[in-house]
Structure 1
């Protein structure tokens, strides 16, 4: 299997032409099945291989990537060529090997990447959806196993396995729709039947919703809705690159109360999750980062390039997507706080999901989104569906006065978050 031998060849060839060289390597296998017209549709198995190369010479950073192991020399030459065109910057070197002793759980030894297993997950999705009088219009299941490695000419060579299982289902009843999903590194944590039942239940129960008058209401955001809105605004504001570029509302606010005193935001790369790791995408050892502690801003996230440029240390926050170069991101981010009482005990508008969160202004925090599957909630129960409406406000303002956090914490991508009660929010209805 192509791996460490090729990485070593790239490093040895590269250091003859550059001051430093870094290789990020990934190989994996996956299987995906989808739902077509309410039944199991196609199933597709695939294998992937990629290598990203970065070179540094006289402070000029070049990069290139390839999905063909036979073209590694061309990839290296392309990285060197791009470096010659780059603007020199402050650079302190790729990391040296560190005595990494902690472990992070991101792989399920029992997960099998097989069509039969994915098909069985789809069957469970459909069985769950069949508990309600709905039509299933989409969804599927995916299983994947990946090996990642990072190496550089300073002697770093780290490797790790990752697995992922995911399911989703979309259902419709007349004009009402419902969508649910789940994803985890561990197959046993995924309950496809429950996901299918919840999606179908949302579609069935949302039928016949009544209009809501424009006004201010107490609102309960489900973890999905909360993650959608907060993820588009708060997370970019914690990036050191945005802070230094003047694109973060939180710039110059370290030590200040920026959120409700009940809220803490931290990245724990050692917690079980999709982003669990002991080293980041540049080979920097990871650590638990507390960005906001009981509402008080403590620090920001940095990668090597941003850290060197602005005189900061990397926080081990570099991540990669596909064959792209590293950027600042998060591993297993948590929004957490005490759970005094259930946020839905008192009457409020419950919002399952939102549409248009990507249009939120990441600098100001302003947003206006369409709400999906809203209900009146009372005594912790969904008591009456509401016809769709708009929800608008400012993320930073609404998180400065939180009415309560739910016990229904769930993982949405790399963000783990509970439902959140927000009092006196603007709903734009009939």
Structure 2
């Protein structure tokens, strides 16, 4: 991309620093309506985001046509002139990074036939439960490349691939949903996704009411990740800490969860979708331990927030697409600890929750509907539970963790096991 060097020659005449974030990729997606393909589409994408810094003023602009980089640069510089100056100590200097691509598999072929095979596998799995009818589903395959460069001489390239599938089924008034995604060929299991979606739809029918009270509860990886992402993770964000919007502010070195819990961001996991050697600002990434054996160790920072707080960036900057500006996030948020069988004693198992977005991230208070809950008996899911809700304070709930399941799974950017809690408030009838 010779034009990137031309961009820097032009930009460095006009501003103190600038960075370039460029994306290109191809994708294919196919959607199911009941058991038939309703839409299949392919796309070729490209995009460019330029960020400029001059006298502490940050400007940015983006375009989906990298050939228009001159106009994009002009817009970023013009926007920077209107920005409010802030504490700034420079973009990161270049470092030598490993040449391997952590999230790319050349065996993944982006074509409609691949999507069709994935859809057929899910439908075949769903047929295991003939009383459940498939209502919708989808499969997506994509490959892409990110080019990052800055005026300090950093030049990084990262390739990515991903396969994602999902299916929803219904039986009477009961629904079931399951999904899977991976960046490695053959890692997703379409048959199991279809089978699990149909299982939850079929087996959830005829659920019985549960009296209100306190129960041992097992949250599936999907259910736990939903609540974790909306409540606990924002409290680890350095910007929220700086602005007084984190309940964990001022608690470094203190116990904030059960001692069996550890939480960390590991951006160097091989063949894991969120892995990367550098973050969205070109800062080299590293493992970041948030909670170790229940004790809070630290928070996540990007450059801008770190400079305001008198800290160093933790390599935690992420972008929501090429047009998104860097913001604090994580790469692979892992929940770990001693593992055991969480189904060995009676409890309520919750496959997913509805309404996690309504939780209060400042206080931690939440009230969510349980989706596909079951009684656990004799080491297996037994009778379904109907029409019940979970309520409480999610920060307090972390002290009530009694066990972590043996198998973890990826839920978006989270890698979590089933988590068992004692004495969780359930509102039933």
Query: Under a length normalisation based on structure 2, what TM-score does the superposition of the two structures give?
Result: 0.98
How far does residue 408 in structure 1 lie from its aligned partner after superposition? 2.3
Structure 1 Cα separation of the partners of residues 23 and 66 of structure 2: 11
- The answer to whether residue 273 in structure 2 is matched with residue 274 in structure 1 is yes
Structure 1 Cα separation of the partners of residues 174 and 82 of structure 2: 54
Preserved CA contact (<8 Å) 2:101 2:158: no
- The answer to whether residue 183 in structure 2 is matched with residue 189 in structure 1 is no
How far does residue 235 in structure 1 lie from its aligned partner after superposition? 0.9
Structure 1 Cα separation of the partners of residues 388 and 397 of structure 2: 19
How far does residue 6 in structure 1 lie from its aligned partner after superposition? 2.3
Structure 2 Cα separation of the partners of residues 400 and 158 of structure 1: 42
Write out aligned runs for 1:162-311 (5 A): 162-272=160-270, 273-311=272-310
Alignment-derived partner of residue 121 in structure 2: 124
Preserved CA contact (<8 Å) 1:97 1:156: yes
Alignment-derived partner of residue 349 in structure 1: 348
Preserved CA contact (<8 Å) 1:40 1:123: no
How far does residue 113 in structure 1 lie from its aligned partner after superposition? 0.6
Q: Secondary structure at the match of 2:59?
A: strand
Write out aligned runs for 1:31-430 (5 A): 31-101=28-98, 103=100, 105-132=102-129, 133-272=131-270, 273-322=272-321, 323-339=323-339, 341-430=340-429
Structure 1 Cα separation of the partners of residues 147 and 290 of structure 2: 27
Q: Secondary structure at the match of 2:399?
A: coil
**CA gap 1:102/1:295 in 2 versus in 1, 3 angstroms:** farther
How far does residue 63 in structure 1 lie from its aligned partner after superposition? 0.6
Structure 2 Cα separation of the partners of residues 301 and 315 of structure 1: 6
Preserved CA contact (<8 Å) 1:259 1:400: yes
Q: Secondary structure at the match of 1:367?
A: strand
How far does residue 309 in structure 1 lie from its aligned partner after superposition? 1.5
Structure 1 Cα separation of the partners of residues 215 and 115 of structure 2: 42
How far does residue 230 in structure 1 lie from its aligned partner after superposition? 1.1
Alignment-derived partner of residue 3 in structure 2: 6
Structure 1 Cα separation of the partners of residues 101 and 224 of structure 2: 26
Runs of 4+ in 1 over 2 A off after TM superposition: 99-104
How far does residue 99 in structure 1 lie from its aligned partner after superposition? 2.5
How far does residue 104 in structure 1 lie from its aligned partner after superposition? 5.7
How far does residue 404 in structure 1 lie from its aligned partner after superposition? 0.6
**CA gap 1:37/1:162 in 2 versus in 1, 3 angstroms:** same
Preserved CA contact (<8 Å) 2:400 2:423: no
Q: Residue deviations 1:211-260, cap 9 Å, x none?
A: 11111111010111011111111111111111111111110000101111
Moved more, 172-181 or 359-368: 359-368
Structure 1 Cα separation of the partners of residues 89 and 361 of structure 2: 30
Structure 2 Cα separation of the partners of residues 213 and 8 of structure 1: 67
Moved more, 357-366 or 165-174: 357-366
Pairwise CA RMSD: 1.1
Equivalent pairs, count: 426
Structure 1 Cα separation of the partners of residues 329 and 248 of structure 2: 16
Preserved CA contact (<8 Å) 1:90 1:308: yes
How far does residue 102 in structure 1 lie from its aligned partner after superposition? 7.9
**CA gap 1:128/1:256 in 2 versus in 1, 3 angstroms:** same
How far does residue 103 in structure 1 lie from its aligned partner after superposition? 4.9
Structure 2 Cα separation of the partners of residues 170 and 392 of structure 1: 26
Structure 1 Cα separation of the partners of residues 400 and 274 of structure 2: 30
Structure 2 Cα separation of the partners of residues 187 and 147 of structure 1: 17
Structure 1 Cα separation of the partners of residues 124 and 101 of structure 2: 34
Structure 2 Cα separation of the partners of residues 182 and 253 of structure 1: 36
Preserved CA contact (<8 Å) 2:29 2:112: yes
Structure 2 Cα separation of the partners of residues 55 and 102 of structure 1: 27
Gaps of 5+ in 1: none
